[in-house]
Structures are given as structure tokens and as C-alpha cells.
Amino acid sequence: MKLDSPITEIKGIGAKTEKLMNRIGVYTLWDILLHYPRDYIKFQEPVTVPEIGAPGICAVSGKLSDALRLTRAGRMEIVTGKLGRGNKCLELTWFHMPYMKSRLKPGEPYIFYGKIKEKGNHFAMEQPEVYTPEQYQGKMQALQPVYSRTEGLSNSFLIKTVKQVLEELSLTYDFLPESIRKKRELGEYNFALQQIHFPDNMEQLTFARRRLVYDEFFQFILKMQMHKGKKEEIVNDFPIQRETVIPYILSHLPYSLTKAQKKCFDEILVDLKKKTAMQRLVQGDVGSGKTIVAFLAMALMGENGYQSALMAPTEVLARQHYENFVRMCREFELKRKVVLLTGSLTPKEKRSAQEDLKLFPDAMIIGTQALLQEKAVFANLGLVITDEQHRFGVRQREILAEKGINPHILVMSATPIPRTLAIILYGDMDISVIDEVPAKRLPIKNCVVDISYRKKAYEFIRKEIGAGRQAYVICPLVEFSQELEGENVEDYAKSLDLYYKGSIRIGVLNGKMKPGEKNQVMEDFFQNKIQLLVSTTVVEVGVDVSNATVMMIENAERFGLAQLHQLRGRVGRGIEQSYCIMVDHAQSKASKKRLDILNKSNDGFYIASEDLKLRGPGDFFGIRQSGEMLFALGDIYQDAGVLKDAAEDVKELLQKDPALEQKENEKLKVFVENGSTSRWNL
């Protein structure tokens, strides 16, 4: 077997399982090795029934005093039993597992592992895993991987598959020069790959992860540096000669730009007049008003006879930009064609949009990754803008830029990356920061609470919705997980529907839904057909719903601070007072300290810098920062030190050996030319 062999080379994986593996991005043997665990379980010491403290994942030891019972409800076979008696009992239930009745014997010691729930005046555990004390003792010695998966794939199956690939393959060579490995005290690549899946202990896991995170950053920065041409060599083929449209728009806006917006646009204007093409990053906190800056730049390009294109990460956001731009062109009397091109358009609509790209040399074009398709041929593309740019890989941005002849490049991001890290991640791009929010925006009121506050929160949401407004509830998980603690979207939405007795229209959104389904849910929420949206972090980059005033985040302790700030930014976008309720399930000193930063500040850049200070080398469980540059493992906040090391090493390497021709760099050159061992799209 070879690393690029299809996953069906593994014994037991047929066509049906292959389709399920494809759903999680696994096509080859390499892919399964790079499908890193999303979390790890450390099996804790078991407790007895009287020692059970609160709901949550737990290991309970005991003996069944009576034989298990088998009952039927329609076609479903249900096995039930109890540990303990009276109020001090744990009710055990297994569905579709009739063999448990004969497997477990009364009077024999067992360890039952699973999620404890409160049921009336006692505790209950559904679908618990069962171990003998000896088996459980073995489990406690190591960390158990937990993988992202889809329905039909069990965690145990993925563990078995990864083990089989690791055992049967002679793994890849280590591409990293030995001098760098020694300098940074990094582990050997194959060892790191073994330990990231099946760590011997926390120390080895931390060691392995550091090596793989370094690889991701090193590869990203190296490829970026080797692919990009020097900015000074790119001639400005789209110089600005006229700019009368700008004062006209500014004088007719219903509000004044903030000082930060004015400064940012002035910097863009200077760039557009230079002899070299613009390459600028605009960082603006959530709600700081980046869109109007983009509109001004695109209007200016149109006045000078050039096309401009804005690429958004979601269809819902692209459509909202399109509708806003059409409205503003009408209000400001701009006779400018605005074109929308997304994947969900009908074939006829796509053909019409593609024709418009050729017919209107001064058009303002809004779209998603559909703009990258071969059929999207631009007539006169002078400016490329990527919105929420960390959602796009370097290569995607290059493809769009290649649609024109050296167009100006403007990338926009609401991710508050500290300047030192932004300089590393964006090469030699110039950086503008919009660090103010419009004057009419009221600061979001924040509170951090425990789960006992839920009923008050639900009633507060009912009150806001009764006043005509809308709300979000964020959960960390899509569906129930036996391995991971945390609220899940599916069950939470059902419980809310029961609580409100159908009086509130509730919608559900998660990343596993098809694009069309996600777009429809967000469109319905935008139009207030859905009043309360229960979602995963997929709404982090979503639609601007100015009517939404409440953001409730369950298991807030599981998210990075910067990501919580992004989620919070979904509200507070209108004139009404908005609120963010963060539910801390952990109630630990560490989680309270972290969440208190958000509680006291709405400044994303301050929060990001504090996040950097608080994170430790082993702090990588739970939900990591999502989306920053699409790294598989690396987190630019938590791993800021590793990022800086990698940037320094790439710079030193290319100064000594720009073409990677020295013997020590032979394997690295092969890697650069033939492809990456990482999962992001370069």
C-alpha cells in the first residue's frame, strides 16, 4: 500500500463506507492519517453511585443487584437495569442492544462509562460503554482520540482504521531540514504523527502537536514567500484619474464615516494612485464598517472604467452584499451594473451573470468561490476584494487575481489578529486597521452565568422576541456525542421548542447541512421567518441581521476568546440594545478568568492580545479557534510563539538558499514542488 492509495485498500472498507469517509474529507490513506483527533478522552477514576456529583461524562463502578430487563417498543428493543436502590440509584438504558441482557451478570463488578443525566430524583445513563475493572484500568493509562465523523461512522471504527494504516505503512520521510529540527527541538515527523493519534501521555501529545503545528506554519509561510512576486515589481495597470464619485457619496450618506474608516480609505486611495499595484489588508473589528469602505473603493474603480470583484465566504453574505450594493447604487445615482455570481444560481442565471462580466467593463461584481470557475471571464478586472479572507486559501486568492492582469488586491478580515502576527501571515502586505465602531451602535451588554441562569435567559429571549426582535443560541456540538461533553444543536432545539410550547419559530443550523439548506435557514432568519436560531459556530461568518439582539452561547468555556468575540458580533448591528449571555459550564477559576475578559470588553484587538497571554502550551482541548487561515491544528493565538519561530526560520532559510538547492534542503524542495502533507488549500 502507498500513501496515495484509495481508502478502499483498507480491509473492511467497501463502497458504502468509502462514501461516508469521503464526507469527512478522507479519500486516500494519507487523508486518514491527516484526519487528526478533534479531542481526547482521559478516562477518570470511577466513582460509586452515591459519589455522582452532577450531570456530565462519568465512569461509575458497581454491581447489578438484579438481572437486566428486555422490553420492546414497536421495533425497538430496550435493555434496562439499575445500579443501587431507591433515590441513590443510576438507571441504565441501552437501545437496539438486546445482547447486553445476557452479557452482564448480577453480582459481577463493572465500570459503566457515559454521559450522566438527571431524571426526576435520580440519575440516568443511556448507551453506556461497559468495562471490567481490569479493562478500564488499561483505558486509564492513555489518552483516547476522538475524531470528527459523520452518521454511520463510529469513533471506534476510525480508531481501528488509523491504527491499521499506521501499522501497515512505512511512513513518509521527514522533509524538515535536520538543522531546523535541532534548533527548535522538534520531534521526528513519523513519531509526531503516531503520537498525535495515540499519545502515550499528555507530555508526548504536547510534543507531537508542537511539531505538526510548526509544520503547518512553516509550510504555509514558505509557500507564500516562494509563490508571491515582489510588490515593487507589479505595475499599477489601473491608475485612478477621476475621484468625483467619492465626495458625492460621502455627502449623501445618512451618517458620517468614523475617523478610522476615513483613514483606512485614504490609505487605499493613495495605494490606487501609486505606480505599483495595491496589496493591502484591512482589519476591522466586528461591526466596524468595512463594507462601506469596500463599496467606496469599488465605486471609484467603476468611475475610472474598471471592474471590481468582491468574493464573500458564504452565499448568504454574498447575496446581502449584492442587495446592499444595488440599493446604494440606486440611492447615489450611480449608473453601475452590479453582478451577482454564486453556485446556487440557476444555469440560466449563471450564463446571464457570466455574460455581464464580459459586457460591462466597469461592473461591480459580487460572488462566492463561483468567481473562480473557468467560465467566469472578466473583461477588465482592476480590483479584487476578499471578504473574511482567512476563509480562503492563498491559492484561491491567486486564482481570482489571475482573472485580471495584475489587479489591485484588498483583503478584509474581522478576525482581530495582533499586528505582529498579521505581518507574518500576510507577508509584505500593507495593513490598515478600523478600530472604531459607528457612533450610533450601542455597546453590547455582556454577562457570564452558570447553567442555573438558563430559565431567566429563556424568559429574557421570550421578552425580546415578543418585542419583535430575534435571538441566537450557540452550541459547540451538532448532535449528541458519547465521547464529548457539551450541548448539541439537535437536542437543544427540541428542548427549546418544548419550553416555548411552539410559540416561537425556531430554526436549526450546522456545518453538516448542505449549502442550499444552510442558505435557506439563514435567509429565513434574515427575513424574520425564524425568530430563534439554534446553531453551531457556522454563523460566525454569516448574514448581518440587524434585528437580532440576543446571543446566548452554551459551553462558552470551550471556545477561544477571539471566536467568542466573533460570535458576539452577530448581534449589536442595529440601533437596539443588544446582549450576549455566555453560559460557563465549567465554573473553574481558569474559565472565569478568561470569560471575564469578554465580560468587561467589546474591543476585539484587546481581547486577542489577552487571549495570547492566557493560553498555555497544553491548552488545546475543546473547540479551538475556528477558521484562522484554515490550519488543521495550528491556532494563531495559542501557537503565536511557534508561528514566529517558523517565520524566522523561513526567512533565514530563503536568505541562505532561495531556490532550495543545497543538499540539506533536497527533501524540502521535493515537498514544495510535489505537494503538501497538510490539509489547507494553498
In this structure, are 463 and 590 located in the same domain?
yes
Over residues 202-245, the pLDDT tens digits come to: 899 999 999 999 999 998 888 878 766 455 567 889 999 999 99
User: Which has more confidence, 506 or 431?
Assistant: 506
In the listed set 139, 159, 181, which residue is the last one of a domain according to the structure?
139
Q: Is 269 exposed, middle or buried (0-12, 13-18, 19+ CB in 10 A)?
A: middle
pLDDT surpasses 60 at 627? no
- Does residue 147 fall inside a structural domain? no
Q: Which residue has the cell 471578504?
A: 387
Distance between CA 556 and CA 447 in Å, rounded? 11
Cα separation, 172 vs 157, whole angstroms? 24
**Taking 50 as the threshold, does the pLDDT of residue 618 lie above it?**
no
Residues 518, 467 share a domain: yes
pLDDT-derived band at 168, boundaries 50, 70, 90: confident
Q: Could you tell me the pLDDT band of residue 515, with boundaries at 50, 70 and 90?
A: confident
Higher pLDDT, 264 or 599: 264
Residue 402 pLDDT greater than 70, yes or no: yes
273 vs 486 pLDDT, higher one: 273
Q: What is the pLDDT of residue 514?
A: 81
- Please check the confidence at residue 682 and state whether its pLDDT lies above 60: no
**Residues pairing with 78 in the sheet:** 71, 95
Query: For residue 300, what are the domain limits?
Result: 257-434
Q: Please spell the DSSP secondary structure of 320-334, one letter per residue.
A: HHHHHHHHHHHHTT-
Residue 195, in any domain of the structure: no
Mean pLDDT on 149-177 = 86
Q: Are residues 451 and 430 in the same domain?
A: no
Percent of the chain with pLDDT over 90: 51
The structure's pTM equals 0.70
pLDDT tens for residues 49-80? 999 887 888 999 999 989 999 999 888 899 99
- Residues 326-346, mean pLDDT to the nearest whole number: 93
Mean pLDDT of the residues in the chain: 87
Whether residues 317 and 343 share a domain: the answer is yes
* pLDDT tens digits, one per residue of 561-605: 878 888 998 998 888 999 999 999 988 888 888 899 998 888 887
Same domain, 351 and 376: yes
CA separation for the pair 304, 329 (Å, rounded): 16
Name the 3-class secondary structure at 480.
coil
What is the average pLDDT across 344-356? Answer: 93
| Domain boundary pick from 406, 434, 462 | 434
CA dihedral 396, 399, 403, 407 (to 10 degrees): 80
CATH label of the domain that carries residue 498: 3.40.50.300
Burial profile 308-326: b = 16 or more Cβ within 10 angstroms, e = fewer: bbbbbbbbbbbbbbbebbb
Confidence of residue 483 (pLDDT cuts 50, 70, 90): low
pLDDT of residue 234: 79
Asked whether residue 33 carries a pLDDT value surpassing 70, the answer given is: yes
**Separation of alpha carbons 409 and 400, rounded Å:** 10
Q: Has residue 367 got a pLDDT over 90?
A: yes
164 lies in some domain: no
Domain CATH for 52: 2.40.50.140
Is the pLDDT assigned to residue 374 strictly greater than 70? yes
Q: Model confidence at 395, in pLDDT bands (50, 70, 90)?
A: low
C-alpha cell at 313: 465566504
Amino acid 294: pLDDT: 96
Q: Structurally, how many domains does the chain consist of? A: 3
Distance CA 541, CA 601 (A): 21
The yes-or-no verdict on residue 678 having pLDDT over 50 is no
Answer yes or no: is pLDDT of 377 > 80: yes
Do 456 and 590 belong to one domain? Answer: yes
What is the pLDDT confidence band of residue 157, given thresholds at 50, 70 and 90?
very high
d(CA 580, CA 564): 10
Which residue in 38, 42, 34 sits closest to 161, CA to CA?
34
Mean pLDDT, rounded, for 641-649: 93
Q: Which of 189, 235, 153, 172 is nearest to 3 (CA)?
A: 172
Flag whether 181 is in a domain. Answer: no
Q: How confident is the model at residue 679 (pLDDT cuts 50, 70, 90)?
A: very low
Mean pLDDT on 117-129: 88
**Which residues have C-beta within 8 Å of that of residue 590, sequence separation ≥ 6?**
none
Mean pLDDT check: name the lowest of 482-486, 488-492, 677-681.
677-681
* Mean of pLDDT values over 421-434: 82
Would you state the cell numbers that stand for residue 487, as one nine-digit string? 450541548
The predicted structure's pLDDT at residue 468: 97
In this prediction, residue 680 carries a pLDDT of 31
Kindly state whether residues 462 and 348 are assigned to the same domain: no
Would 680 be classed as within a structural domain?
no
Asked whether residue 652 is assigned to any structural domain, the reply reads: no
pLDDT at res. 370: 86
pLDDT band at residue 674 using 50, 70 and 90 as cut-offs: low
Count of other CB atoms within 10 angstroms of residue 656: 11
| Domain identity same for 423 and 563 | no
If asked whether residues 415 and 518 sit together in one domain, one would say no
Domain stop point among 139, 166, 198: 139
Question: What does the DSSP assignment read for 557-588?
Answer: GGS-HHHHHHHHTTS--SSS--EEEEE-SS--
DSSP 276: B
Identify whether residues 410 and 478 lie together within a single domain: no
More confident residue, 255 or 268: 268
